[in-house]
Amino acid sequence: MKRREFITLLGGAVVARPLAARAQQEKLPTIGFLGTATLSTMNSRVAALVQRMRELGWIDGRNVAIEYRWAEGRSERFTEIATEFVRLKVDVIVTQGTLPTLAAKKATAIIPIVSAVMGDPVGNDLVANLARPGGNITGLSIQTPDIAGKRLELLREIVPGLRRVAFMGNIDNPIVPQELREVQVAAGTLGLEIVTVQIRRTQDIVPAFEALKHGVEAVYLASEGLVDANRLRVNILALGARLPTMWSNQELVEAGGLLSYGPSFPDLYRRAGDLVDKILRGTKPGDIPVEQPTKFDLVINLIVAKALGLEIPPTLLARADEVIE
């Protein structure tokens, strides 16, 4: 869905403050949406959530209000936004990722929280167990042990003589070290060497790529708020260094990445809409099982491949769910 269509779908409600006053006046049930990055990064995901809510009878501005807040990749904003939602007394908080969900959990033990994307909800102490979460959090887990290996295999299919791969991610996010361990295990099986590049803020990205020049043949990005918000910068730097990039989802490839493989984020957000619906109708989040992804997408950007001088095998193109050309 294009940005213009998305804004039309929301009915101009992306700017949330007028809705806050209207929600108080009309006493509409209110959803607080904590966006880790920006609207442009997450528009297809949010549109999927809003569309599913419409299908279930919840129309923004009519019988529900949605408050949008964007952290723009700055982790310090997670606590600020979660605290604001508690002050607004929203009925449900929708999050994505470990750090913002932890921030929301710390801010409230009462308001239900639905996380559309969680890496390891049990290991990161977000829920007691997947079948019966307990507490005030439920959502969808993208914990898939073999996905790192599949991403590295795809890179090896595309990059001739691949030997060294850079793993780049915000090491302060608990899910990133976990993903790094999975990547290292998979790399050992595939005979690849992993070079770890730690970033913690936007200012770290340019020096990270400077350090990578001539040292690796590809970059594996650990997708989360900081990296996603800087996707254009990352992709421009990678292209300048002639480094193929592996991302987690289509939106990041559309922004100039080479390829992505992972759970369909729009599908996860649609299913998050089902969970929000249950909560608004009275089900306790602790009684709603954490779900797993069922749809995975392989996306290839042929424009970037051509710029990098890479030939994509026809068999791989045939397997792709989306080809950008």
Amino acid sitting at position 249: N
Residue 12 shares a structural domain with residue 116: yes
62 versus 174: which is more confidently predicted?
62
In this structure, what token pair is assigned to residue 199?
């970033």
Burial class from Cβ neighbours inside 10 Å (0-12, 13-18, 19+) for residue 213 reads exposed
Per cent of the chain over pLDDT 70 is 91
Distance of CA 235 to the CA centre of its chain: 17
For residues 267 and 272, give the distance between their C-alpha atoms in angstroms, rounded to a whole number. 9
Residue 269 shares a structural domain with residue 174: no
Among candidate residues 197, 148, 168, the one with its CA nearest the CA of residue 257: 168
Residue 7 shares a structural domain with residue 109: yes
Q: What pLDDT does 135 receive?
A: 95
Strands 259-263 and 296-301: antiparallel
Residue 277 shares a structural domain with residue 309: no
Q: Determine the structural domain holding residue 239 and report its residue range.
A: 147-263+297-324
Q: What pLDDT does 25 receive?
A: 54
Residue 257 shares a structural domain with residue 274: no
CATH number of the domain residue 229 falls in? 3.40.50.2300
Number of structural domains the chain divides into? 2
315 secondary structure, DSSP code: H
Which band of pLDDT confidence, cut at 50, 70 and 90, is reported for residue 17? very low
Distance of CA 154 to the CA centre of its chain: 20
Global pTM exceeds 0.85: no
Residue 85 shares a structural domain with residue 180: no
Residue 8 shares a structural domain with residue 120: yes
274 versus 43: which is more confidently predicted?
274
Residue 92 shares a structural domain with residue 176: no
289 secondary structure, DSSP code: P
Residue 111 shares a structural domain with residue 235: no
- Cβ neighbours around 42 below 10 Å, total: 25
Residue 134 shares a structural domain with residue 45: yes
pLDDT tens per residue, range 149-198 = 999 999 999 998 999 999 999 998 888 998 999 999 999 999 999 999 99
Q: What pLDDT does 146 receive?
A: 79
pLDDT tens per residue, range 86-139 = 999 999 999 998 889 999 999 999 999 999 998 889 988 899 999 999 999 999
Q: What pLDDT does 144 receive?
A: 66
- Cβ neighbours around 39 below 10 Å, total: 16
Q: What pLDDT does 37 receive?
A: 83
Above 80 in pLDDT, residue 9?
Answer: no
Q: What pLDDT does 14 receive?
A: 46
